[in-house]
Structure formats: C-alpha cells, structure tokens
Amino acid sequence: MKNILVTGGCGFIGSNFVRLVLEQLPDSRIINLDKLTYAGNLENLADIEDNDRYKFVRGDICDGELIFNLFVQEQIDTVVHFAAESHVDRSIEGPSEFIQTNILGTFALLEAARKFWLSSPRPPVPNPRFLHVSTDEVYGSLGDTGLFSETTPYDPRSPYSASKASSDHLVSAYHHTYGLPTLMTNCSNNYGPYHFPEKLIPLIINNALNGKDLPVYGDGKNVRDWLYVVDHCTAILRVLQKGRVGETYNVGGNSEMQNIEVVQTVCDILDEKVEPLANGQTRRSLIKFVKDRAGHDRRYAIDATKLKQELGWQPSVTFEDGIRMTIDWYLKNEEWMSGVLDGSYQDYYSSMYDAR
C-alpha cells in the first residue's frame, strides 16, 4: 500500500480514514479524490493539507478519464472507495444522483483499475487491492431477532440501498469475471467526529444545542447497530492488510439501540455538559415525533464474527464512551458545525433526517 487512492476522503468516514492511514502507515501516500458536494468539506482535513504524503484532487468518480490518469500518474496500487450519495431521504426525493454516483461512479473506478492493473500479464504495481465500502442497508430489514451475515440475501428497500446493492454486485462481478483483486465491507451506522449534520446523531446534537425541535420518525423504535467511526476505519485497514481477496466482511459495533434511546441519551449528556434551555426544561422536551419515512427499515444488526475470527478485529469503543467522545468533539468544534450548514439547510433538515 504505497499509493492509496481514497475516494470521498473529505467526507465523514473518509476523512477519519485518511488521518488514520497517515498516522499508522508511514510509508504510504494518500491521493484523496473528492467532488466536494455538500457533505464533503476541505476543513475536515485542514490539519494535514500540508503533509507531503497527502494530495487532494477535486474531481468526480464518474469521470473515467480523470480516474485512469490518476492511476497512471500516481501509480495507484490501492483503492479505498468511500465516495457515495448516502442520505436515504434525499434518495427518495430524487434518486437520479444516487444512480449516477453510486452505480456509474463505482463502475468508472472498477474500469480504471481493471485497465491499469490487468492490461498486461504483469501488473504495473505489486499486490493491488480495491476495497469497496458498503452498508448493511443492502440486506433489507430484520425482525426482532437475527443478525445480518455476509451470506444474508440482498433485499434493499430504498433507492439509496438499491444503488449500493448494485455497486456491490458490480464489485463482485469484476472479481469473478476479470480477477480484479477486490474486497468489500458492509458496515452498520457510523457516528463520531466530522459527521455532516443531516444524520441522526449530529443533527440532534446541533438542534438540541440551539433549542430546536428534535424530530424522531414514527414511534422512534427503529433499531440500529452503532459503530464508532474510528473503529470502522481500523476495520477497513485490517481488511486491506489481511483480508482474503474476493471476500466480504461485515463491520458492526455490537451496540443496538432504538432511535428514541439514542436521542434521549444525547439530550441527557448535553443537559449534563452545557447550560440548560432558556425555559429551564430538559432537552428531552424538544423531542417531536414526526410522520415515518417511506420504506423505513425496522431493524439492522450486524454479525461481525467473520471479521473477528479471520482477522482478529472487534470494536474497541462502546456506545456509552463513543457518544460522549462525539458530543465532546462537537462542543469543542461548534465553528465547524456552523461552517458546514447555512440557515436554510438547517431548517430544511430539522424536519427530515437520515436515521438509516
């Protein structure tokens, strides 16, 4: 892993991964390709922009010529593909961007890798790897029991999850058809620093700090398995280093919680750490149940046994610790929060968020 192409490296998970690689792999370079859509922010990596092992390239993963030229010029030997449209509600309102980015963008990356790595009997770089980062949402919805494993049949329920399922199948097909050295991870809900505040936890933190309504879909009892973002990044690195080519590894946090429990936990911690609301009420008083989202999956839960048994990885951060670290980060970085959102966008997402 000398020259690593990270797509979407200015986003939430990508920026945390870039920072982890620069810390842990001193002989590796990062080429960060990001289109800088609304959820991509150069400020997420402002502290490392002068690092001589880091290079930022603004561009679209759907631009096949740009991507292939990057492979050649930078001698890319590793791809970690984060770039994606990921907001479920937005996919329901307008699915076109999700089809373009998540399916056609993944196709363009696969084609560039195939042409560069497999165009001659002897690859131009040693031991190339293409790791595609996906989601547990491709598996559909669980009942009250059971866990998603790597062999769970795909059953996507939204345009977003369908587009991710399609990209997963493309990655698998390129391995089986062309022998492209691919790896895939499917993760549960992430949370942590630099999370764009359209998603549940950062939105609730932001609204609760500002005395705004805290919208909760339906009865609030939809269950998600929460994974601290740094744990996710260490899992991806472990799969890159030790994973078997052609395999999929599920990454989970062992932290199932109902959405309403997450919201209430955030409220209680903020009540401990910051001044009370102007009217003296607790932040739980801001909770407002809103109409449920179309096709809202009831429960996700990951079985990460394969990752633990084969590669020795398991999450190191409990939700109780991780949510406190996350809230502390946002409290120390309120300028970052205000910088990524303008007023109209905040108002729009005060009644629509992505609890996945």
What CATH number did the domain enclosing 42 receive?
Answer: 3.40.50.720
pLDDT at position 340:
75
pLDDT at position 345:
42
Q: Is residue 272 annotated as a catalytic residue, yes or no?
A: no
pLDDT at position 349:
41
**Is the pLDDT assigned to residue 348 strictly greater than 60?**
no
Instruction: Please give the torsion angle defined by the CA atoms of residues 326, 328, 333 and 336, in that order, rounded to the nearest 10 degrees.
Output: 20
pLDDT at position 38:
86
Position 83 in a domain: yes
Question: What digits encode the pLDDT tens for the residues 181-230?
Answer: 999 999 999 999 999 888 899 999 999 999 999 999 999 999 999 999 99
Question: What digits encode the pLDDT tens for the residues 135-184?
Answer: 999 999 999 999 999 999 999 999 999 999 999 999 999 999 999 999 99
Number of domains into which the chain is organized: 1
Residue 341 binned pLDDT confidence (cut-offs 50, 70, 90): low
Q: Is residue 137 annotated as a catalytic residue, yes or no?
A: yes
pLDDT at position 351:
41
Laid out side by side, the sheet with 182-187 consists of 54-58, 29-34, 3-7, 78-81, 129-135, 182-187, 248-251
pLDDT at position 336:
84
pLDDT at position 123:
77
Position 140 in a domain: yes
Position 180 in a domain: yes
Q: How far apart are CA 230 and CA 247, in angstroms?
A: 22
pLDDT at position 280:
87
Position 202 in a domain: no
Question: What digits encode the pLDDT tens for the residues 269-293?
Answer: 999 999 989 888 999 999 999 999 8
Q: Is residue 136 annotated as a catalytic residue, yes or no?
A: yes
Position 184 in a domain: yes
Position 276 in a domain: no
Residue 98 binned pLDDT confidence (cut-offs 50, 70, 90): very high
Domain range spanning residue 98? Answer: 3-197+227-256+300-317
pLDDT at position 226:
97
pLDDT at position 342:
58
pLDDT at position 222:
95
- Of the listed 60, 136, 297, 354, which one is catalytic? 136
Kindly report the pTM of this predicted structure.
Answer: 0.93
Position 355 in a domain: no
Question: What digits encode the pLDDT tens for the residues 46-82?
Answer: 999 999 999 999 999 999 999 999 999 999 999 999 9
Bridge-partner residues for 226, per DSSP?
A: 189
Residue 295 binned pLDDT confidence (cut-offs 50, 70, 90): confident
- Of the listed 160, 191, 349, 353, which one is catalytic? 160
7 and 80 Cβ atoms separated by less than 8 Å: yes
pLDDT at position 354:
46
Position 128 in a domain: yes
- Average pLDDT of span 115-125: 87
Q: Which residues contact 281 (CB under 8 A, 6 or more apart)?
A: none
Q: What is the residue-averaged pLDDT of the chain?
A: 93
- Of the listed 34, 77, 85, 137, which one is catalytic? 137
Q: How far apart are CA 216 and CA 355, in angstroms?
A: 9
Give counts: helices (H), strands (E), the chain. Answer: 13, 12
Question: What digits encode the pLDDT tens for the residues 223-271?
Answer: 999 999 999 999 999 999 999 999 999 999 999 999 999 999 999 999 9
Going by DSSP bridges, is the β-strand pair 78-81/3-7 parallel, antiparallel, or unpaired?
parallel
